[in-house]
Amino acid sequence: MAAAGKSWAGHGIHWGRIATRELSTVAITIFGLLLVTFLIARVMPIDPVLAVVGDRAPADVYERARLDLGLDKPLWHQFAIYIGKVFSGDLGTSVLTAQKVTDDIKTVFPATLELATLGTLIGVLIGVPFGIIAAVYQGRWPDQIARVVGLLGYSVPVFWVGLMGLLLFYAKLGWVAGPGRISVVWQDYVTPVTGIIMLDAAMQGEWDAFWDAFSHLVLPASVLGLLSIAYMSRMTRSFMINELQQQYVIAARVKGLSEFRVVWRHALRNAIVPLVTVIALSYMHLLEGSVLTETIFAWPGLGRYLTNALLNADMNAVLGGTLVVGAVFIAVNLFSDMIGRLADPRTR
């Protein structure tokens, strides 16, 4: 009993050290993210006061707004005020929408989350098995097909794939709905709760609205999924080729284990940790890199919101969106590290 108690205590201390180290890393990263976004706002050739009051405001109005924004204070004091506002949920007011940036992001981010999640799911369900099969049949026709698919996914421009998809599957065949997130006729049928239309529609039993939203989502998600498939299949193939050349695989085959068990139970298990990291990176890339897809499909997501804000010099919106994307990057990266430690004790 005493030995068991010491063992549990040792595990507790071990995980406590890991948690402390991870939290310290996250805190430093968040501080660096805040510092970078603050400095960007200060070095940009855009006057934040003019963005608020306009370029025709009288001098006294300009000066009053400058004092209200705290721009008369030392730089370190401005940074402290900025940190306080961020942690209180105040990301400023958007010049473009005249609403709080926090409210805007709450509206647009679920759309990007919905799009990126389905795109990543398509990449995992198709790209990972594709990569495994390519590694098993290295140099043969399944491997050649997987490599061609990967090459197409990397080389064909996303905007061209999106436009061709709309022309073929929407305009010609009518298999999917067109641009936008949901048809106008169904917009008032779903009460926003989570902001994810399909989930809200399912929770409220509005199944016609659910399938209409899915019909709008499937094509842009597939466009993003093609890029995800290319990336995941290529990386999975590389990981599996490396694992299949290891001594433990040779030993398992000598013992007479079936090829299915050797590949899917042994080699894949050891490739899980780097594969989880790849999936997390792909997901983060789709969350922040779907600007062209959202523009082509008139998808009201974060990428489109940031693009419009940048074109209109709306720095509060740009910096607020940058902070949100950075925070999501940190959270997903931390989550993937935790999954990796649970999946492979060697990483602990």
The owner of tokens 């799911």 is: 121
Tell me the average pLDDT across 84-105.
82
- Which of 53, 87, 121 is at the close of a domain? 87
Show the domain range for 160.
Answer: 101-347
Other CB atoms closer than 10 Å to residue 238's CB: what's the count? 16
pLDDT of residue 106 exceeding 80, the answer is yes
- Looking at the structure, do residues 205 and 299 belong to the same domain, yes or no? yes
In a domain, 182, yes or no: yes
In a domain, 93, yes or no: no
Tell me the average pLDDT across 267-273.
81
Q: 174-233 pLDDT, tens per residue?
A: 888 888 888 877 777 888 888 888 888 888 888 888 898 899 999 999 988 888 888 888
Look up the CATH number of the domain holding residue 113.
1.10.3720.10
- Looking at the structure, do residues 309 and 231 belong to the same domain, yes or no? yes
- Looking at the structure, do residues 132 and 271 belong to the same domain, yes or no? yes
In a domain, 173, yes or no: yes
- Looking at the structure, do residues 117 and 189 belong to the same domain, yes or no? yes
Instruction: Please give the pLDDT value at position 152.
Output: 80
Q: Which residue has the higher pLDDT, 18 or 305?
A: 305
Instruction: Please give the pLDDT value at position 313.
Output: 72
- Looking at the structure, do residues 148 and 259 belong to the same domain, yes or no? yes
Residue type, 247: Q
- Looking at the structure, do residues 25 and 51 belong to the same domain, yes or no? yes
For the chain, what is the mean pLDDT? 80
In a domain, 94, yes or no: no
- Which of 35, 62, 87 is at the close of a domain? 87
Q: What is the DSSP string of 240-291?
A: HHHHHTSHHHHHHHHTT--HHHIIIIIIHHHHHHHHHHHHHHHHHHHHHS-H
The owner of tokens 């790209």 is: 127
Tell me the sheet residues that pair with 164. none
Q: How far apart are CA 223 and CA 295, in angstroms?
A: 13
- Looking at the structure, do residues 158 and 22 belong to the same domain, yes or no? no
Query: Residues 343, 122: contact at Cβ < 8 Å?
Result: no
Q: How far apart are CA 153 and CA 157, in angstroms?
A: 8
Instruction: Please give the pLDDT value at position 193.
Output: 82
Please give the model's pTM, rounded to 2 decimal places: 0.79
* Cβ partners under 8 Å of residue 112, min gap 6: 287, 290, 294, 299, 301, 302, 303
Number of domains in the chain: 2
Query: Residues 190, 182: contact at Cβ < 8 Å?
Result: yes
Half-sphere exposure of 185 (CA within 13 A, CB side): 5
Q: How far apart are CA 178 and CA 219, in angstroms?
A: 9
Q: How confident is the model at residue 125 (pLDDT cuts 50, 70, 90)?
A: very high
Q: How far apart are CA 331 and CA 323, in angstroms?
A: 12
Q: How far apart are CA 129 and CA 146, in angstroms?
A: 10
Q: 2-54 pLDDT, tens per residue?
A: 555 455 455 555 556 666 776 777 778 888 878 887 777 677 666 666 666 66
pLDDT of residue 244 exceeding 60, the answer is yes
Burial of 75 (0-12, 13-18, 19+ CB in 10 A): exposed
Instruction: Please give the pLDDT value at position 16.
Output: 63
Please tell me the least confidently modeled range out of 50-64, 184-198, 234-248: 50-64
- Looking at the structure, do residues 219 and 141 belong to the same domain, yes or no? yes
* Cβ partners under 8 Å of residue 338, min gap 6: none
